[in-house]
Amino acid sequence: MSAHTPGPWWINAIRDGSLDICVGDGLSPLAEVFGEDDSIADWPLSANARLIAAAPEMAELLQILAGGNVTDRVVMSVEMDRQFKALSRARALLAKLEADHE
C-alpha cells in the first residue's frame, strides 16, 4: 500500500465555515473541506469531511479484509477471526459516517 499520513485524522471547524482535516496537533491541516457557503452549494460539507477523516481507518480495514494467502488451518482460523472483527469495525464506521443522513 502506498504511504499516507498515519491517522487518526480529525475534523476542526474553521471560522469561515469550512472544515479542516487535521492530524496530530492540528497546526498543519492535511486538507480543507468546503461546502454549503461556497460555489458548490449541494455538497454536504460535514458528511464529506467525516468521510475524508475516516480514510486511514478505512485503509486499515481494507488491508485486513483483503487478507493474505493463508494455507495453514490454525493461521486461517486466526485470520478469519481478525477479518470478522475488522468487518464489525467497518460496519460501525459506516454507521458513524451515515449519521448525518438520519
For the stretch 48-86, pLDDT in tens is 888 899 999 888 888 887 766 556 666 677 778 888 888
Read off the pLDDT of each residue in 11-28 and give the average, rounded to a whole number.
84
| Confidence at residue 22, expressed as pLDDT on a 0 to 100 scale | 92
**pTM, rounded to two decimals:** 0.65
Least confident of 36-40, 72-76, 97-101: 36-40
- Degrees to nearest 5, angle at CA 89 with 62 and 55: 50
Q: Where are the domains of the chain?
A: 9-101
Please say if the pLDDT value at position 41 is more than 60: no
Q: Which helix H or strand E contains 26, and what residues bound it?
A: none
Give percent of the chain with pLDDT exceeding 70.
77
